[in-house]
Amino acid sequence: MTRLTGIIFTMAAVTASAQVGAPLLGYLPDGRNIRPVYGIPAAASVSVPLDFGRDFGLSAVSPNQDFAIVTDASSGAVLLATPGSTAAPLSGATASPDRIVLSPRGSAAALWFSSAGHLQIVSGLPGSPAIRNVDASFLGTFLDNSIQRDAPGALAVSDDGQWLVGSWSRGLYAFGPQGQVSRLPIREYAGALAFYAGRQDLALASDFHVFSVSAVGGAATVSTLYAGGLSAPAGMSLSSDNAHLVVAESSGTLLTLDLTTGASSQANCGCTPQGVFPMGRTTFRLTGLNSGAFRLLDTSTGELLFVPIALAPPTGSEGGQQ
């Protein structure tokens, strides 16, 4: 893989985004709104928020950039928001989740509810959603005759919605489609998790290693992908072809692993990553809007990019309502 070359400022993207027919790169959660991002990774800009007629609380955009799962800021209702259309209730979803996590291809999601130690898995997204309930309350701890819920440090759900894995202080637990619960054979606390696209194999990062766990629902064989030491992983994700894995540390260091060659590279984004969120086949969003721009990593070129807010919205662009 091309070595990460540093941060490239792309304020020229403002001009590119204003061109008629600028391509849609994806969508950016921004507080109570979702904004479209137009252009190509090296020349992109953020446009005005989409108008869904309501404010959002939580927002999680599909890696395919075709929908988002959101909560209504007033009622907490879970909604399926489709750009260019509406935000419709997600039938069967409990209101006010504390966390929303999408699978690598966006075909499944996990909702976490802290007060009950409860999870919901949504499969069949976006066209035919079905919901399965998962009880993780046994992972709470007893203090003074009451239960203190232990929130997972990280969650990941497979694309088929069959398996969900969470990292708790007690260990790494996998929940299966028939109510199976198993503790995966990892002794280190996993600060970041990600399923491989289209597979039931898992990648995870601790403060010491990056591991791969094959066949989470079967033999769960563990292999080491990286042993160089990490500092508080804040998120991780894989490219859509499972060829590259990106881990973001809270310090701003980014570790990129080429899973086809075994090569690794590091760079510092000069930011505090919120996570690693796919935005296209080989690009990953690292932050939200901060001082008028967000940070983007393009693993196809090894570039770290600023994507600014456009001075004017694009005209004639596809991909969402204005």
Q: What CATH number is associated with residue 37?
A: 2.130.10.10
Averaged pLDDT, 100-122: 96
Residue 265 lies in a domain: yes
d(CA 275, CA 269): 12
- Rounded Cα distance, 88 and 100, in Å: 16
Q: Residue 86's pLDDT is what?
A: 87
For residue 205, tell me if it sits in a domain. Answer: yes
Q: Is residue 318 part of a domain?
A: no
Residue 266 lies in a domain: yes
Domain contains 316: no
Question: Is 321 part of a structural domain of the chain?
Answer: no
Rounded Cα distance between 190 and 33, Å, is: 31
Domain hosting residue 165, numbered range: 7-308
- Given this model, what pLDDT does residue 18 score? 40
Instruction: Give per-residue pLDDT as tens, 253-295.
Output: 999 999 999 999 999 999 999 999 999 889 999 999 999 999 9
Q: pLDDT tens digits, residue range 207-244?
A: 999 999 999 988 899 999 999 888 899 999 999 999 99
**Residues above pLDDT 90, as percent of the chain:** 80
Total count of domains within the chain: 1
On whether residue 317 sits in a domain, the answer given is no
Distance of alpha carbon 71 from alpha carbon 78, whole angstroms: 5
What is the share, in percent, of the chain residues with pLDDT greater than 70?
A: 87
> 61-107 pLDDT, tens per residue?
999 999 999 999 999 999 999 998 889 999 999 999 999 999 999 99
| In a domain? residue 2 | no
Whether the CB-CB separation of 33 and 49 falls below 8 Å is answered with yes
Per DSSP bridges, beta strands 277-278 and 283-285 are antiparallel
Judged against a pLDDT cut of 80, whether residue 9 lies above it is answered with no
